[in-house]
Amino acid sequence: MLTQTLVGRLLCLAVLLGVEVTALSLFVDNETLPRTGHLLPLLQEWGPSLVRGAIAFGAVFLTFALLKCRDALERVALLPIQPFWLAGHVLVAAGFAFVSMRLYAARQSDPNPDLLAAAWALMGLLAVVLAAVGFLKFRTWRQVWAATGSLWVVALSTALIASFLTQPARALWEPTTRLTFTLVKFMSSWILPGVTTDLEHATIRAPHFSVIIAPECSGLEGAALILLFAIAWLWLFRQECRFPWALALPPLGVIALFLLNAVRLTALVLIGNAGAKQIAAGGFHSQAGWISFNAVAFGLCVVARRSPWFSSGLMPGLTETKIETKPETTADATTAFLVPFLAILGTGMLTRAVSSGFESLYPLRLLIGGLALWTFRRSYRDCDWRIAWPAPVAGAGVFVLWVVLDRIAGVSSAGPIPAALESMSGPARILWLGARVLAASVTVPVAEELAFRGYLMRRLSAADFESVNPRQFTWFALALSSLVFGILHGSSWPAGVAAGFVYGWLYARRGRLGDAVAAHATTNILLAMYVLIFQQWQFW
């Protein structure tokens, strides 16, 4: 329990600082910072990198501390939270916000810009220290330092790579753009003989469509993401990897994603030239990249676990059945709890990829999700599907909170019915709207609650998640599963995190998955009614 409490405190600290930084970013803009004195130019150039580095450091340290230092953290002695230091943090944070407003609104003629910048930096650092000692006293921090050993070095190295090497890495954009251009030129000209190219402007011209390969489309960022993913895999599962052969996984992932990026751009040319220009420039262009990344990441995981050249548990000539490590029932249950959600998610990626701004094939999500749930229906017999009256009430509260947070954040604005939906025939429009409402009220709530509450929330407590009683939940499992649930809702992530917390609390309150599903379905039904009655199409 000490580990969960310690991690819970660290999570609270991270959430507090993250919310404060996010709130401040709504009112200050780095581009408006005057370039006077000596410190302000440095702040404008390196400030965003410092923020990225701090976030990366906290995320990596917290994740690895939980995964790799659990036993050592069990021996850390926790002391009560210190309200005095937290109150001091609030006061200093308020002063920091005031100085930030003045700093970012400073004029070019300000006589002491360096003094103001120095005061701003010191107040920010003091606010972080006060928050840190408010949640964990200095003595506890020293014990955490000793318990985690060299993990600080690993987290700091990752933070430096994620932040300060971003700018130098852009020097690779030009050569990678040229390489991507060459690959796309070869592929498209081989398939479509009428293609012409302009290397100077990185332009591929088909008879009826043209594509400019910008540096952002070179594949460098995707290759960097898959490289970090592969390295993280090698670190987390190093006991299962066969070295040095496993070291080939990161470059193999980079090469595979780089080639898939060229295939994506080639397909973009072919789709646009075939007459579907809106689909090519809209849904396909934005979704194909993520589909490629997910495919390569999944492929790396499969290869790393099942290939005898990369897995230490498998020798060439042996079959995987000889080294079975998990009960078959747990593996089957994992599949049953996750596949419906993954099926809906994957179908959505594909239907958006072939759309031109409006997902006209949305009914496929309902169909595929329903088939997946029906296929594994026998696996859900042990779930408690009973519903108590607080569940729909809580779901209605989440709906109100979702709308209010959307209005406060100004994430989206109300708009008319999408033109593509309005142009549909009557039966087609009714079919689309019916499928949208039915999916929101049935398949999506059931699939997401199975994945996030039924599986993830319990899996964070024990590997054999089926043996975990949801009523004996940990705050860490509830918080992290809610955070992941919220992140998957994109720009509406604050409301998503709050919704996930409410649904998870309902599930843990009586151990009934039916309560979480009922609350989730209530929220979605009310949102659907809000969209249809008040023309608030931004929620869809």
DSSP notation for 375-422: HTGGGGTTS-----THHHHHHHHHHHHHHHHHHHHT-----PPPHHHH
Per-position pLDDT tens, the chain of length 540: 444 467 667 777 877 787 777 667 666 666 666 666 677 777 766 666 677 677 667 766 776 676 567 677 767 767 777 888 888 888 888 888 888 877 776 555 556 677 778 888 888 889 889 988 888 888 888 888 888 777 777 677 766 765 655 555 555 656 777 777 787 777 777 777 777 777 666 677 777 677 766 665 656 666 776 777 777 767 766 777 777 778 888 888 888 877 887 787 777 777 776 666 665 565 555 556 666 776 777 777 778 777 887 877 654 444 444 444 444 445 568 888 988 998 888 788 777 766 656 778 889 999 999 999 999 998 898 899 999 999 999 999 999 999 888 777 665 555 678 888 888 888 888 899 999 999 999 999 999 999 999 988 888 877 778 888 888 878 888 888 888 888 778 778 888 889 999 999 999 988 999 999 999 999 999 999 998 888 888 887
Q: Sheet containing 196-198: give its strands across.
A: 196-198, 203-206, 209-212
- CA-to-CA dists, residue 209 to 206, 212, 276, 288, angstroms: 5, 10, 10, 18
How confident is the model at residue 321, as a pLDDT? 44
How confident is the model at residue 526, as a pLDDT? 94
Q: Are 192 and 206 in contact (CB under 8 A)?
A: yes
The pairs formed by 310-317 with CB atoms below 8 angstroms and a separation of 24 or more are 310/241, 310/242, 310/245, 310/246, 310/248, 310/249, 311/240, 311/241, 311/242, 312/239, 312/240, 312/241, 312/242, 313/240
How confident is the model at residue 326, as a pLDDT? 45
The rounded distance, in Å, linking the Cα atoms of 284 and 278 is 9
How confident is the model at residue 327, as a pLDDT? 46
Q: Are 160 and 168 in contact (CB under 8 A)?
A: no
Phi, psi of 340, rounded to the nearest 5 degrees: -60, -45
How confident is the model at residue 328, as a pLDDT? 46
Q: What is the pTM assigned to this prediction?
A: 0.53
Q: Are 188 and 264 in contact (CB under 8 A)?
A: no
Give the residue from 253, 251, 166, 183 showing the smallest Cα distance to 217: 183
Q: Which helix (H) or strand (E) holds 248?
A: none
User: To the nearest 10°, the Cα dihedral for 332, 335, 338, 339?
Assistant: -140
The two counts, helices (H) then strands (E), for the chain are 23, 3
How confident is the model at residue 512, as a pLDDT? 93
The rounded distance, in Å, linking the Cα atoms of 457 and 479 is 9
The rounded distance, in Å, linking the Cα atoms of 472 and 508 is 7
How confident is the model at residue 325, as a pLDDT? 46
